[in-house]
Amino acid sequence: MTPTKQAPLYEGKAKKVYATKDSQSYIVSYKDDATAFNGLKKDTIKKKGELNNRITNLLMQMLHKHAIPTHFIQELSPTDSLVKKLTMFPLEVIVRNFAAGSITKRLGIKEGEKFERPILEFCYKNDALGDPMINTDHILALKLAQAEEIDAISSYALQINTLLSDYFASMGILLVDFKLEFGKDEEGKIILGDEISPDTCRFWDAQTKQKLDKDRFREDLGDVSEAYEIVLQKILAKESK
């Protein structure tokens, strides 16, 4: 029997989360809403929810094949997916392969510069504080995660970076940077949650450097859903081989 939505549990900028009859699973519903700059810029982008749902699920399944535990269970509809219930760490884990976005302003680095090794960053998920960047000492002091959990999350993030970078390179796309979120299941196992999509990743065409991600919305470049569609079609073409 197909799981159905019960009580709404949470609504964020890009997704809604619903309870199901199973206490250990949720339904995530992707929205067409687009926001940037901590919600200061808002709009609706046609099909964005469908595109992010599909891209996320395909990438989660690819990672699962490479022994990365994820919360994905089943795609239910174009915009809805069944996922494992997780207790999320209030952390955003950012991996940067090339300079783009905030790091260019913070450190005066030219956009597009490739780092010799990936840069791993943490942000404290707190809208009231603007999701500030923090380090491992802050995480421990605030008791957001234990030392061994930070190590496991960091290890997973770097493994995922290698897998995704190689995966997208094979289809002519640069994985510039991306954001991950992790949680723990009922057994205390650390699992990848949230989404992996053009909303949370920076994708550039390897040849033209055309941006194929949310920066098209942030920077008023237009053709946002068209760029997301390019990413999806490249993934589908690769998976069909």
Quote the CA–CA distance of 203 and 199 in Å, as a whole number: 10
User: Residue holding tokens 């995530």?
Assistant: 28
Q: Where are the domains of the chain?
A: 8-84, 89-224
Q: How far is CA 198 from CA 81, 134, 179, in A?
A: 17, 24, 10
Confidence of residue 1 (pLDDT cuts 50, 70, 90): confident
Indicate the class that CATH gives domain 89-224.
alpha beta
Total-model pTM: 0.96
Which candidate, 150, 157, 238, places its Cα nearest to that of 196? 157
Mind listing the pLDDT tens digit for each residue in 131-144?
999 999 999 999 99
Mind listing the pLDDT tens digit for each residue in 189-222?
999 999 999 999 999 999 999 999 999 999 999 9
pLDDT at 241: 81
Indicate the class that CATH gives domain 8-84.
alpha beta
Instruction: Say yes or no to pLDDT of 39 above 80.
Output: no
Quote the CA–CA distance of 2 and 22 in Å, as a whole number: 12
